[in-house]
Structure 1
Amino acid sequence: MNRLTLTLCSALLLAGCGKPAEAPEPVRPVLSLVVEPQSQANLGRFAGSIQARYESTLGFRVGGRIARRWVDVGSSVKPGDVLASLDPTDQRNQLRAAEGDLAKVQAQWINAQANARRQQQLFDRGVGAQAQLDIAQTDLKTTGASLEQARAAVEQARDQLGYSELKADHAAVVTNWQAEAGQTVSAGQAVVTLARPDIKEAVIDLPTSLAEQVSGELKFLAASQLDSSISTTATLRELEPQADAATRTRRARLTLADTPLAFHLGTAISVTLTSAVSPRVELPASALLESEAKTRVWIVDPQQKTVSTREVKLLERTANSVVLASGVQAGERVVTAGVNSLKPGQKVIVDEEDPQ
């Protein structure tokens, strides 16, 4: 009986000295994302503002000292509203002088009329000379011409007095004043800038290198910087031919597809510039597995929850991202972190917070 027990114990000891069974590969949690091919290439985002397409700079048609500014920057004006006025003393004096000249010429014209009638009556009775009649009629015509000239001078003086008031000729918003009350200005000098608020556009500055590539195929998306949900598409209307000497940028003016109510004049906007490209996939640079002169990514099997490598074709790369031309399909899930510590067929746990 003791010998049987010893034999059994020896057998058990020998069995215990055998090679242990291999432990299964651990299940690893991974970060991943679902592939969504892009057909638009983002060329950049640029700060800009909403401006009026049409602006006009007004000035007085006569010179003088500005007596008063009637509106401030940001004010809305209607046609005929007075924007500023000059000291009208000089214009009033010119009008009084012109009216005095007119009164003098009118008196001369009345006298010339009476003299012409008198000479005509004398000539008709045969007691007047033809020469005297001719002189009287010539004086009447000359005085009549002087009367017309004096009347025109009065109208001109009235116009000059009216020009001492600078008025808006269309509905607009005051955007800038170039002169202040008390300042003496000359005729035609810029005084105030008006913008028509009915037609607005987006204005941005583009780097020269990008501006040279701008074409009709590019798309612009203008969004409010305060609320990105307020946005509209835009198309290029005008691109300045020369770059600014200081910033080396070229100003671009964009026509808005529609104008949201929140797009007031001066509203700060962000304009995203995109271009249509062949479908491509952009991934974080950490998703790339490079070995044996090949470029691969890990694909997650959604049914088995395992990973496998797949060779991909690299199109572009930056410090933080890569663009793939082929190798993955829309809807597939790609591992984006820890790619060097995975093995083919390894079980993984997909990050639950990652969108499906």
Structure 2
Amino acid sequence: MVTANLALAEALSQPCCPHVSRCFIVQAGGGIATNHNETPMEQTEKAKPDLSALRIHRDDDEGSGTRRGLRVVLVGTVLILVAGALLVGYRMWGSATMPEVEVARAIVESGSAGLEILTATGYIVADRKAAVSPKISGRLEYLGVDTGSRVKPGQIIARLEHRDLDAQLSDARSSLANYQSAQTQASAELEQARASLSQAQANKQKSSLGLARQVKLLENGVTSKADLDNATAQARVDEGQVRSAEAQIRAIQAKIESSSQQVHSAEARIRLVEAQLEYTSIRSPFEGLVISKDAEVGETVAPAIFGGTSTRGSVVTIVDPNTLEVEADINESSIGKITPGLTAEVTLDALPNEKLAAEVRKILPTADRQKATVKVKVRFKEIDPRILPDMNAKVTFIQKAEQGAKTEAARITVPKSAVQQRDGKTIVFVFSDGRAVSQVVMVGNEFGDRVEIKQGLAGGETVIIRGIENLTDGSRVKVKTGS
């Protein structure tokens, strides 16, 4: 009983429900007990029901809905970004792992093109080439061209310092002016001496006449011996003056001749200095293309034969693009097949799908004992502006069909490297829409590094020539840049 009362008292000390103001306790005898510690007023107020707990909080519901919508949008955006990143990554991975191949065209050739008798390799060179150097030594003060510049004949491409030559030219011109002034003065003196000579000759003639008169007068006893002596002395004085004037004229003439020689010497010196000044201007010897710049402004340059460790022997190197040709090395055992004028086709690594018409220009009369080859020069029938010096070239020599011979039908050819053997079949891989498509073909005769395709191709297709080893029909591939 005591235990029950203690439990009842503990229950009465705490509210049984947070939202009900009054608690009712059921006693053991079946009655209802109230909390007698509360006043009647408090019991009345607590007896009123509290309906605030039943209010619907609409603001909270709207806020939670908005937050849920934002969470959905953010999650969707993140999923889209992740999917896009995965797709891009997959494509990049696929592109990085995709086989890289080189391609070439299946070419339709005329049957009258002739028979390919020999193929050789070589390089593009210029028959007309010049390493331009100055005629005199000097310090480079101006360079007006760069690698790749086009130049005209006589164009000034560089210039040496020439202040010392300018001073020499000024001095030579001053000397010339002095000599010319001295020559002019001597000429004036000569005119004066000639006038004096004329005067002396007149005096001599007058004194001679006076002396003759005094002689006759003395013979007639009209004049005295003293007058005759005076006339004789005057005649001799006047004759001496004539000889003196003549000597003066000869001296002045010699002076004029010396001045004239000095003038000629000064003029020659001026021409020499002017020529040396002209040598400081380095000009292009012909119209061409600058392929290398061998010196810079501030460096000392000299004629090529005087070049040293600290002196440049040339300023630029120029080639004439119109003389570009192929130098090919032909084996000694095959040189008998080559004759001047023989038709040839040139293929460049830079233009793998084009054949450039050419012909043999010259067979050099010497052989290379180390390589056992003879050098042959092959010139283009038409210069393509895309051809550049030092490019790799492949030359196919073609023997034209004899006149009146039966003309063969056109043929389709591809590089030999395009033809593969798979499962007992001869195939080529055709590049189409980013994939390698296997095509069964029938091959015919070989023509140099190409082979005839009798069946399987129509001509003009793009065939794969390198990177074929691991390809299968339908494999995705990418073409190597520059192929």
Q: 1:167 aligns with which of 267, 274, 283?
A: 283
- 2:328 matched to which residue of 1? 204
Deviation at 1:118, TM superposition (A): 1.7
Of residues 184, 189, 196 in structure 2, which corresponds to 1:110? 184
Alpha-carbon distance between aligned partners in 1 of 2:396 and 2:174, rounded to the nearest angstrom: 68
d(CA) in 2 for partners of 1:199, 1:130: 72
2:269 is matched with 153
Residue 60 to residue 255, structure 1, CA distance change in 2 (3 Å): same
Unaligned stretches of 5+ residues in structure 2: 1-110, 201-240, 306-312, 409-415, 417-443, 447-453, 459-483
Q: State whether structure 2 residue 331 is matched by structure 1 residue 225.
A: no
Find 2:159's aligned residue among 65, 85, 95: 85
Q: Report the Cα offset of residue 92 of structure 1.
A: 2.0
The Cα shift of 1:172 comes to 1.4
> Which of the residues 123, 128, 132 maps onto 1:48?
123
User: In 2 relative to 1, CA 353–134 (structure 1 residues): closer, same or farther, beyond 3 Å?
Assistant: closer
Task: Establish whether residue 130 from structure 1 lines up as the match of residue 205 from structure 2.
Answer: no
Instruction: Provide the C-alpha distance between the structure 2 equivalents of 1:156 and 1:248, rounded to a whole number of angstroms.
Output: 52
Selected match of 2:259 from 143, 158, 170: 143
Label 1:188 to 1:213 Cα distance change in 2 as closer, same or farther (>3 A): same
In structure 2, give the amino acid aligned to 1:114: A
> More helix per residue: 1 or 2?
2
**Native 8 Å contact 2:158 2:282 kept in 1:** yes
The answer as to whether partners of 2:112 and 2:401 remain within 8 angstroms in 1 is: no
TM-aligned CA deviation for residue 114 of structure 1: 2.2
Residues 98-138 of structure 1: CA deviation (Å, up to 9, x unaligned):
22322332232222222212211211212552111111112
Match of 1:345 in 2: none
**Per-residue deviation at 1:160?**
0.8
Q: Does structure 1 retain, via aligned residues, the 8 Å contact 2:347–2:393?
A: yes
For 1:137, give the aligned amino acid: Q
Give 1:25-44 correspondences, 5 Å limit.
40-44=115-119
SS in 1 for 2:359: strand
Cα distance in 2 between the residues matched to 1:141 and 1:38: 80
TM-score (norm 2): 0.46
**Structure 2 SS opposite 1:109:** helix
Letter in 2 for 1:195: V
Look up the match of 2:382: 258
Q: Secondary structure at the residue paired with 2:367?
A: coil
Preserved CA contact (<8 Å) 1:66 1:86: yes
Which amino acid in structure 1 is aligned with residue 118 of structure 2? L
User: Post-superposition shift, 1:143?
Assistant: 0.9
Considering only aligned residues, what root-mean-square deviation do their CA atoms show, in Å?
A: 3.6
Match of 2:82 in 1: none
Q: Is it true that 1:98 corresponds to 2:172 in the alignment?
A: yes
Cα distance change of structure 1 residues 42 and 91 upon mapping to structure 2, 3 Å threshold: same
Larger relative contact order (C-alpha < 8 A, sep ≥ 6)? 1
Q: Return the letter of the residue paired with 2:119.
A: G
Matched, 1:237 2:361: yes
What is the CA distance between 1:354 and its match in structure 2? 7.2
Post-superposition CA distance 1:127-177 (Å, at most 9, x none): 552111111112112211221221121122122112111012432111234
Contact persistence 1:41–1:277 (CA under 8 A): no
Decide whether aligned partners of structure 1 residues 95 and 62 sit closer, same or farther in structure 2, where only a CA change above 3 A counts: same
Q: Which residue of 2 aligns with 1:74?
A: 148
CA contact (8 A) 2:140 2:297 kept: yes
Deviation at 1:56, TM superposition (A): 2.8
Post-superposition Cα deviations, 1:240-296, rounded to whole Å, max 9, x if no partner, equal 22234654443322122222343344544321123458999xxx9xxxxxxxxxxxx
Contact 2:179 2:263 in 1 (8 A): yes
Within 5 Å, which residues of 2 pair with 1:291-310? Answer: none
| Match in the other structure for 2:5 | none
Please list the CA deviations of residues 218-242 of structure 1 after superposition, one character each: whole Å capped at 9, or x if unmatched: 4311123233443332221122222
Q: Give secondary structure in 2 for the equivalent of 1:94.
A: helix
Matches within 5 A, 1:305-316: none
- Note the alpha carbon deviations across 1:191-235, whole angstroms, 9 max, x for none: 133222234323323333333542247431112323344333222
1:170 alignment partner, SS class: coil
Change (3 A) 1:197 1:38: closer
2:367 corresponds to which letter in structure 1?
A
Give the number of equivalent residue pairs.
255
The structure number with the bigger radius of gyration is 2
Contact kept in structure 1, 2:142 and 2:158, CA below 8 Å: yes
- Greater per-residue strand proportion: 1
Once the two structures are TM-superposed, the CA of residue 95 in structure 1 deviates from its matched residue by 1.6
- 1:195 aligned to which of 315, 319, 323: 319
Shift of 1:84: 1.8
Are residues 181 and 124 of structure 1, via their aligned partners in 2, closer, same or farther at CA, if it must alter by over 3 Å?
Answer: same
Q: Would you say 1:271 and 2:387 are equivalent positions?
A: no
Partner SS state of residue 175, structure 2: helix
Q: Which runs of 5+ in 1 are unaligned?
A: 1-35, 285-320, 324-332, 334-351
